[in-house]
Structure 1
């Protein structure tokens, strides 16, 4: 099995990497807080939570159209363009990734609606472990001691939250425990789904599409968003949740204008997150993109305490520290791997002189 090295592709520059890192971290934390605000202030639709993560792709269409025209011009001038996946293969890739994305987003919406945002964020950090697991099979990811340490810590971090005894809602204690179990299961399922989605996306870029261009990233974002938006819209209709949207808007705690503005901002921010995450998968790896997402998880509980007045008990604090420790362990792995790669390239250059 070919060993997968987590090194930056030649087309990546440090400024672009920093921008995408920032977009992903800020996008995920901001969007998560706004979705939680939607549910706390009167929103109830779970399919709407998933729908909003993809429908914002329409704001990218003008840029996508212009960049596609430029790409077509360049391709016409370059008759030696390397072969890529067929149209049918690309369609299969986009449909598969779109279905994976919308299903994991639906379960994330369920988990976020049942759990405190701080609890949800810590549990969802387990997606890094799932990404590593799927990357081992799909992307020939080799586990280092730092990766193994990171996975163990993240697994323990999520697991100990099962022993949390605080009330998660204003309902009876029995209902609260039931909601917590449902939210925990949904968030774990969603984390596994996102891990599979990230790993499959990297596999598609490297093994199937085989083209190194930012247009490939835009194609993936646009077409998978089209698929996911259609599926989420059908889910919204079939589930009957669309019938309650008008009433939901009328009874929204902060008013109709705030309701609409919140939904629009959620859709826009999720698209910024998509650009950052898919771009990093293309340029570095699925595990690195997921690790950057994990960086937002320790931020979200703190924001939950500030904006939603949630409590930070001992179990939750320990879990958050373990999740942060696991993330640092992975980042050190990436740093060490990149340092070794640079050293090897330097030795090779010296030998060639």
Structure 2
């Protein structure tokens, strides 16, 4: 699929819209669960991937919607690709657990800004795994977003809930950093694998297998930690908005996480892992604002500056990409004109 084609741009816009809706809403709903007396980290982990059957709708939609090679689903899966998908799915399941652990303790805005630290890891791992070239724009972006996370770490300790101990706060802090590191590894590894994938349908199929593996891991954790019986108890006796609101919260969380994961996978397939990471980081500002508006998170000076650095870094990267595209377009035009002149 050519990056200059109209279909490519439409698919890219749909993918980023999916990422935007999924990232912001899933983060807010995950925190909503804990705010209203939900307490199971495994339940929160499980709902992140258990919505994978929804992807079957995308896989079996008419193939012409994606303008892909007409083929039966999963026919291009090799044993190696299947094993890689399962392994990455288990890694994704661990990432989901760390994210849930951090979200259970930290305010939404703090957790969101901490996750922006994944970009520094992403750049380093992209250089190692997929030979990403360092430019001023992406290096400047990473520096600004890393400074944003450091500033947050130094200034946000005071905004933890009164009933949260220092120990639990730092568990949440480092769990979130760990989730960011795993996610940063996930992106370039997926870019490397996607180079051997020739259509968008295969991306969805791989995502289905990965989430099945992540769900299997979460289900083992649920069974070992009595999570299924805990869900029933929470819905009937613990969740302060009642059973109906409890199950609706979990169902909507399942759906929104599918939007987030498919948006991420699509961006990596259509662009690069670094671009996907930067787009994810750019949404941190929206998550911070969402936490302030929805849950009354404190927006102190440190968070304001951190958010501004986040936006600044993203704008720097977008501008660098714009300049690069203009240069490539100019070079292409010159290469076309040169043969014409030689023919004359």
Which residue is 2:113 aligned to? Answer: 122
Pair 344,133 (structure 1): closer, same or farther in 2 beyond 3 Å: same
Which residue is 2:261 aligned to? Answer: 274
Aligned pairs (5 A) from 1:255-270: 255-270=242-257
Distance in 2 (CA, whole Å) between partners of 1:55 and 1:46 is 14
Distance in 1 (CA, whole Å) between partners of 2:15 and 2:306 is 27
Which one of the candidate residues 225, 233, 244 is aligned to 1:247? 233
Which residue is 1:74 aligned to? Answer: 70
The more displaced of 25-34 and 154-163 is: 154-163
Following TM superposition, by how much is the alpha carbon of 1:327 offset from its aligned partner in structure 2, in angstroms? Answer: 1.7
Which residue is 1:153 aligned to? Answer: 144
Kindly indicate whether the alpha-carbon contact (under 8 Å) linking 2:26 and 2:256 is maintained by their aligned counterparts in 1: yes
Which one of the candidate residues 170, 174, 177 is aligned to 1:185? 174
Q: What residue ranges of structure 2 are gaps of 5+ in the alignment?
A: none
Q: What residue ranges of structure 1 are gaps of 5+ in the alignment?
A: 1-6, 77-83
Aligned pairs (5 A) from 1:35-50: 35-50=30-45
CA shift digits 1:156-175 (9 cap, x unpaired): 11112222341411316xx1
Which one of the candidate residues 194, 198, 201 is aligned to 1:212? 198
Following TM superposition, by how much is the alpha carbon of 1:10 offset from its aligned partner in structure 2, in angstroms? Answer: 6.4
Following TM superposition, by how much is the alpha carbon of 1:134 offset from its aligned partner in structure 2, in angstroms? Answer: 1.0
Does structure 1 residue 347 correspond to structure 2 residue 334? Answer: yes
CA shift digits 1:268-323 (9 cap, x unpaired): 11111222211111111111112111121101111111111111111222222112
Distance in 2 (CA, whole Å) between partners of 1:202 and 1:182 is 31
Kindly indicate whether the alpha-carbon contact (under 8 Å) linking 1:107 and 1:190 is maintained by their aligned counterparts in 2: yes
Give the superposed CA RMSD. Answer: 2.4
Which one of the candidate residues 130, 139, 162 is aligned to 1:170? 162
Distance in 2 (CA, whole Å) between partners of 1:85 and 1:128 is 32
TM-score (norm 1): 0.88
Which one of the candidate residues 26, 29, 34 is aligned to 1:31? 26
Which residue is 1:111 aligned to? Answer: 102
Which residue is 2:191 aligned to? Answer: 202
Following TM superposition, by how much is the alpha carbon of 1:150 offset from its aligned partner in structure 2, in angstroms? Answer: 1.2
Distance in 1 (CA, whole Å) between partners of 2:140 and 2:58 is 42
Following TM superposition, by how much is the alpha carbon of 1:346 offset from its aligned partner in structure 2, in angstroms? Answer: 2.0
Kindly indicate whether the alpha-carbon contact (under 8 Å) linking 1:24 and 1:274 is maintained by their aligned counterparts in 2: yes
Which one of the candidate residues 212, 216, 219 is aligned to 1:230? 216
Following TM superposition, by how much is the alpha carbon of 1:338 offset from its aligned partner in structure 2, in angstroms? Answer: 2.2
Q: Which runs of 4+ in 1 moved over 6 A?
A: 68-73
TM-score (norm 2): 0.90
Following TM superposition, by how much is the alpha carbon of 1:72 offset from its aligned partner in structure 2, in angstroms? Answer: 11
